[in-house]
Every structure is written in C-alpha cells, then in structure tokens.
Homo-oligomer: A and B are copies of this chain.
Amino acid sequence: MKQTAFCRAELVAVLLNVRKDTPCVLTLEKGQILPSGPLTMGGRSLQRELRGWVEQQTGMVLGHTEQLYTFADTQVADKSRLVRISYMAMISSNIDQTPAERSLYDYFPWEDRRNPEAHLLLQHIVGLLKEWVGMSADKQQRCARLFGLDPYAWNDELALDRYELLWEAGLVQEARVFQGHISLGLPMQADYRRVLATALSRVRAKIRYTSVVFDLLPETFTLLQLQQAMEALAGCWMHKQNFRRLVLQQKLVEETGAFDTPQQGRPAKLFRFRPQMGQNCYLAGAKLPLTPLS
C-alpha cells in the first residue's frame, strides 16, 4: 500500500552535567559538534545504540536519557534525507572534568540571567531585534513574550524559542542569512546548536516537576549544591530558605547523617534523593522561587 523511501539516520547526544554553578555540555571538535553516530542494522534499541556510540567517542556512561527531537536535513550531495534523532542524557557530576566540556552559556550567553553582563547583552539583542521587527505587530509581540518585555515576565523555559527567533532574525551565525555584526554565542556545525537549545529548554522544564536534577548530582549532596544545580540550569537565582522548605516539606531527600567539609562556613548536612518519589517531584511550580529583585 505504501512505499517507504530509504534515508540515513544519525543519533546525536547532548550530554549534560553541572560543575558547581555552571551547566556543561560535552562536545567534540573544539566545541563545534556533539557526539553522534549512525543508526546501524543491528537490532538494538535506539537508546542502547546511542550509548554505544557515546561510550566509544567519549568514554562516558549515561544516566537518565531522554529523546529530544527528530530533525530532518536534505543532504545537498545526493538529495537524500538525513534523519537526526537527538537525545539528552545526564552525567553525574562526580565524574572528573573532561577537557571537552563547555558551559551551555558559551552557546547561549543571553540565557544566564545570573550574570550581570547578560543583562547588557540582552538589551543589545532587543535593540537588534527592534530592527528586524519593523512594523509587524506579530513579531513585536513574539519578541516581547520571548524576551520578557513589558507585559510579560522572563520565562526560562523558552530558550529554544528564543534561539529560533534569533535564527529567523539572522542574528546567529548558523542562520541562512547572517546579518549580525558580533557573534551571539559560540556557533556549532549543522543543526547542533538547535539541538542544544532544545535540550536546554527541555531540561529547564523538567527540573521543575521531575527528579532529573538528581541525576546530575553526586550520590550525596548538600541542599546548596542542589540549589546551585537548579540555578545553573534555570539561569537565575533562587531564594535559599524557601527553596529548602520546598524540598524538605515534600520529603524529596533524606539525611545521610554525614556532613560536608567546606572551605568556609558551617558544614552542611549531606542528603540523598529518596527514589521512592519516582520521577514525581515538585522542585518548583510554574514559577521558580526566585530571589527578589536581582
């Protein structure tokens, strides 16, 4: 009844982890590409095959792994199709630092609202976008919503949409018509940076109501570490005491009895995640427990 054309398929992985207060991604080729490999004939599941490629290319063992999105490219050479199935995977941060790790914010500097310089950059971007918007009310409103202008508040989960807007506006180097003067963030080859943006959006959404953050932390951790991981990913500061309350009240974690050995200050209790919670957490509602002002 239906004929199925042949195409090529590639598996791509965004390997995330968190180093103190920086969300990192494992890259290859000077930060320009992500680990990936072709889909072979073997009968293994997609995830298993992906793990194989990743281990071979990076030596990493993946934690929680999740499919992100499937993109299709038309190859110029022979007009065949390339299907790119992308995944995001968590790497526990007790792995030694690898040289190929980069901050996610090297690629999306405007997404880190903890950084005062990012505010300036953001103003600059909004200025550039104004030109692109022109008289279009639609575009204007889209910009406002995505970049948290007047009636709207900044929404950290819209990272992908922001990247795509900048692409459309020709402000990132990968864009078909790059119009920028300075480069906004590190570029990558092919679609990889879009895959990365997808991962950022997804992980920001998921840390709120699932237990993925814990896959990024070592087995035991302090509440500050937990908070810093959330802050790193969300790109904003959170209110310490309220964050603790949220976590403790829900009994998401349990004390190990052990303590931290800090450089300065009072040692913090070490906790461990209670896996009985399943994936169901509630580390923040629609809105994160932000610190005031900032």
Contacts and interface: CB of A to CB of B under 8 A. Distances in A.
Interface of A: 2-10, 36-41, 43, 45-46, 67, 69-72, 74, 79-83, 85, 141-142, 145, 155, 209, 276, 278, 280, 282, 285-286
A126 to B, nearest CB: 17
10 contacts: A2-B10, A2-B38, A7-B7, A39-B81, A41-B80, A41-B81, A43-B79, A46-B72, A142-B278, A145-B280
B43 A70 contact: no
A83 B81 contact: no
Given A280-B155, A286-B285, A7 B8 contact: yes
A134 B168 CA distance: 56
Label chain A's interface by main secondary structure.
Answer: mixed
Given A46-B72, A280-B145, A286-B282, A2 B85 contact: no
6 closest Cβ pairs, A-B complex:
A4-B38, A4-B8, A43-B74, A70-B70, A6-B6, A145-B278
A198 to B, nearest CB: 11
A70 B67 contact: yes
A98 B190 CA distance: 42
Contact of A5 (B40, B285, B286): B40
Contacts of A37: 2
Contacts of A39: 4-5, 7, 72, 81, 83
B41 A5 contact: yes
Contacts of A40: 5
| Most interface-central of A72, A74, A85 (chain B CB within 10 A) | A72
